[in-house]
Amino acid sequence: MSEYIWDQQIDYLQNTRWLYYNDDYLKFLVRDVWHIDRPVKLVDFGCGFGYLGLKLLPLLPVGSSYTGLEKGTELIKRAEDIFTNLPYDVEFINCDIETIEIESQYDIALSHAFLLHMTDPQLILQKMIDSVCDKGRIICFEPHWIGNASNFAMHGVDQSSVLRLGVLQKLYEQDAGRSGKNGNIGMLLPILFSQLGLKNVECRVSDRVNFLDQNMDEGKKDVLFRSLREEGFGYSPEDSDESILRLVGRGLSVEEAREQIAAERRFAAEFTEQTWLTYAPNMKITSGTRQ
């Protein structure tokens, strides 16, 4: 078993990515926003199981190719298995993206929920820029966690009783300051793109709103509920000294930590398969071109 953490999260990745986008919206981005009307060479930084390749290749002009860069050996194996019988020109490279050097040979460099896990995201962004030709495009799909956290509603439940936005904002900011890994990077990317010299910078948001409808088909409801659970809805932390100490270590007071754990446990108790819920992840989609 690989020790790389994301090699142990493949099922989670496959079960939750669909919560972000409707296919017609991705088609709109490809054709009407990015105006991709000729075959292109894509490189995906932190490709995982090849999710972006699976979504974008069917929408791109015939002759396009996709290269996935990924540290996880098990993720690479899953990606190769998925694409084995698909009619696309793909390559997967098992590598350490923080150290790999890539020549300027691609038309588009991509990332999906990857930069937030990097201790030096500007370094990775520069590698992405260096990997594309002149006029090449950088496209990053990255989250803004504090926005995601507020972007849901549960019938009959006051959001403030189960989700403490001020405390979460404090945790996210202090975690980013301590480790460099920033779950709110999605909203920073337009600024970073421009600061790194990219032009034509623009940012959009993902379109999908997930509705756990008590009148929907039971099979579809079960799939949606389980995916939302895996995405983190209804996670119940242990009410223990260890949990409190972990939050204190991240910058909360003991009282704040206890209140946070109590709120998360209330959320877990309220969120069941019988809950009426809407949730929009609002992934930020930033693009810019190299001049």
In a shared domain, residues 54 and 115: yes
Taking 80 as the threshold, does the pLDDT of residue 3 lie above it?
A: no
Burial letters for 133-161: b for 16+ Cβ neighbours within 10 Å, e otherwise?
Answer: eeebbbbbbbbbbbbbbeebebeebeeee
| DSSP letter, residue 8 | G
Query: Is the Cα dihedral 257, 258, 259, 261 positive or negative?
Result: positive
Bridge-based pairing state of the strands 89-94 and 277-279: unpaired
Q: 289: pLDDT confidence band, cut at 50, 70 and 90?
A: very high
In a shared domain, residues 200 and 231: no
In a shared domain, residues 191 and 255: no
Which amino acid, residue 286? T
Which range marks the domain in which residue 216 is found? Answer: 211-278
In a shared domain, residues 84 and 190: yes
In a domain, 243, yes or no: yes
Cut 0.75: pTM above it: yes
**Is residue 80 within 8 Å of 92, Cβ to Cβ?**
yes
In a shared domain, residues 187 and 226: no
Taking 90 as the threshold, does the pLDDT of residue 10 lie above it?
A: no
In a domain, 267, yes or no: yes
In a shared domain, residues 229 and 204: no
| Residues in Cβ contact with 193 at an 8 Å cutoff, skipping those fewer than 6 apart | 125, 138, 201, 286, 288
In a shared domain, residues 29 and 131: yes
pLDDT at 235: 82
pLDDT at 1: 44
* Residue 135: CATH number of its domain: 3.40.50.150
In a shared domain, residues 228 and 199: no
In a domain, 33, yes or no: yes
pLDDT at 12: 87
Q: Is 101 helix (H, G, I), strand (E, B) or coil?
A: coil
In a shared domain, residues 235 and 137: no
33-62 pLDDT, tens digit per residue, is: 999 999 999 999 999 999 999 999 999 999
pLDDT at 219: 96
| CA 154/CA 101 separation, integer angstroms | 47
Count of domains observed in the chain: 2
pLDDT at 6: 86
pLDDT at 2: 57
In a shared domain, residues 246 and 121: no
173-190 pLDDT, tens digit per residue, is: 999 999 999 999 999 999
Taking 60 as the threshold, does the pLDDT of residue 83 lie above it?
A: yes
228-247 pLDDT, tens digit per residue, is: 999 988 888 877 889 999 99
Taking 60 as the threshold, does the pLDDT of residue 132 lie above it?
A: yes
Chain position carrying tokens 């989609």: 285
In a domain, 168, yes or no: no
In a domain, 162, yes or no: no
DSSP 162-227: H--HHHHHHHHHHHHHHHS--TTHHHHHHHHHHHTT-EEEEEEE----EEE-TTS-HHHHHHHHHH
